[in-house]
Chains A and B, each alone.
Chain A
Amino acid sequence: MTSRPPTLREKRRYVLIRVEPAGTVPDQKELYFAVHEAVSSLWGDATAALIHMAVVAADNEYVIVRCRRGTERELAIALTTVTVCAGQRISLRTVATSGTIESLRERIAVMRAPDTAVVLPDECTIDGRRYTVCNGSGQKIDVIEKGFKNTTRFFLTREDLEDI
């Protein structure tokens, strides 16, 4: 099958999103299902077809989502309503929109935080319960309670840990 000449191809836009909590690397297919569900439940099937959304690339916590040109706003609104992916609570933050994937890749490279040596405690105790420190960057520290049943993630700061 021959590809269409550039003048006949539909124009697309690429939206760069950051997945939170930090350190979350979602499965590309699962994220597609989550975003597709959000788009079609908010805007309906007709607009979802018009948006023509697809997850085209994932680079750790950064994901590039494609849409048809002119529907970026609808996609961005739908992205804010994504709260769960594969049973895990997430939040999608729209970072930038571009006409090419390449420019977004360059942007990811710029934004990626330099690896600074951050000393984190392995675990901490809050209100008599033991927690594992699972992520930390800058002032932010995420902890997960130790145990089989309760794996709730808590979002704290360094000062919170110092106060405890």
Chain B
Amino acid sequence: MKITDACVYPRPSGDSSVRRMALEAHELGFDSLIAVDTPACDYAGVHVASGVVIGEIPAQDIAVRMKRHRETGAFVTVQAGDNGHNRAVLGMKGIHILCGIHGTDRHAFDHVTAKMAADNGVAIDVSLAPVIRERGVVRQRALDRYFDLMLLERRFEFPLVISTHARSVLEMRSVREFSALASVIGLDIPDVEQALSNAGMLPSPSSAVKVIQ
């Protein structure tokens, strides 16, 4: 079971090098990271997987960008949008993670999209960034969205992943802190362990189809 932070942004998007983030992740108790726009590597005993984050753009454009990234072997994360956008995205092949649910409106991720995520094996990202960095109404809204997400997760059992979306080593948190922060949104320790290991169990982007005889 690999403990993974599902999204970090090393340099040039952030202020820390990928090696420094891997070093920090090792000290914080992680086995792997998904680093955006960074080639895959291993450092300090931490496997750094390559990731791509596609912003909220029309579904056709996402399909075009997907083709471009298919050969790179990167984990593809797509930013959530309104309900129609999310349904279109969850129906596409090759998407691993849907992120940014906390920033969408209440109807953007409903029981239909939850079932689609479960059927297609697309993980839903629970970013701890709004819980850590935001204050007041923004954080309350994010927590409200996460409470709703947990309700759907218990019913439809789609995979969850947890991430910090850290752009600096200062924004990274330890596994114990992940558990503590996740308890605020209603995830208990077994749920957190499952969510932290889910990223390692997502279908490998570069794996070819295996023929079993």
| B168-192 interface with A by 8 A CB criterion | 168-174, 176-177, 180-181, 183-184
Asked whether B16 lies within 8 Å of A155 as measured between CB atoms, the reply is yes
- A to B CB contacts below 8 Å, 6 in the list: A77-B183, A83-B171, A91-B172, A140-B20, A155-B16, A157-B19
A61 at the interface (CB under 8 A from B): no
Instruction: Determine if B112 is an interface residue (Cβ-Cβ < 8 Å).
Output: no
The answer to whether A154 has its CB under 8 Å from any CB of chain B is yes
- How far is the CB of A13 from the nearest CB of chain B, in Å? 15
Q: Does A90 contact B (CB under 8 A)?
A: yes
CA distance A80 to B181 in the complex (A): 8
Q: Say whether A76 faces chain B, with CB atoms less than 8 Å apart.
A: yes
CB-CB < 8 A to B177: which residues of A?
76, 80, 94
- Taking a contact as CB atoms under 8 Å apart, the answer to whether B19 and A83 are in contact is no
Number of A-B contacts (CB under 8 A): 67
Contact of A160 among B15, B20, B174, B180 (CB under 8 A): B20
Does B116 belong to the interface (CB within 8 Å)? no
User: Does any Cβ of A come within 8 Å of B132's Cβ?
Assistant: yes
User: What are the 6 A-B residue pairs with the smallest beta carbon separation, nearest first?
Assistant: A155-B16, A91-B170, A157-B19, A80-B177, A155-B20, A77-B180
Q: List 10 additional contacts besides A81-B131, A140-B20, A140-B23; criterion CB under 8 Å.
A: A21-B169, A77-B180, A80-B181, A83-B170, A91-B171, A139-B44, A152-B15, A155-B16, A156-B16, A159-B19
Task: Please tell me if the beta carbons of B20 and A83 are within 8 angstroms of each other in the complex.
Answer: no
Give bound CA distance, A94 to B17, whole Å.
Answer: 24
**Interface residue range, chain A:** 20 to 34
Binding site for A on B (CB under 8 A): 11, 15-17, 19-20, 23, 44, 131-133, 135-136, 139, 168-174, 176-177, 180-181, 183-184
Q: A90-B170, A155-B168, A157-B19 are in contact. Are A80 and B135 (CB under 8 A)?
A: no
- Complex contacts, B184 vs chain A, CB 8 Å: 42, 77
Residue interface mask A10-44, B partner, CB < 8 A = 1: 00000000001100000000000000000001100
Contact among A73, A90, A91, A157 with B20 in the assembled complex (CB-CB below 8 Å): A157
Q: Which of A75-104 contact B (CB under 8 A)?
A: 76-77, 80-81, 83, 89-91, 93-94
Contact (Cβ within 8 A) A156 B17: yes
What's the minimum C-beta distance from B16 to chain A, rounded to whole angstroms? 4
Question: Does A153 sit within 8 A of B, measured CB to CB?
Answer: yes
Given contacts A80-B132, A139-B23, contact A89 B173 (CB under 8 A): no
Q: Which chain B positions have C-beta within 8 A of A160?
A: 17, 19-20
Q: Cβ of A155 and Cβ of B171 under 8 Å apart?
A: no
Q: Is the CB of A77 within 8 A of B181?
A: yes
Given A93-B174, A140-B20, A155 and B169 contact (CB-CB distance below 8 Å): yes
User: Hey, which chain A residues are within 8 Å of B181, CB to CB?
Assistant: 77, 80-81
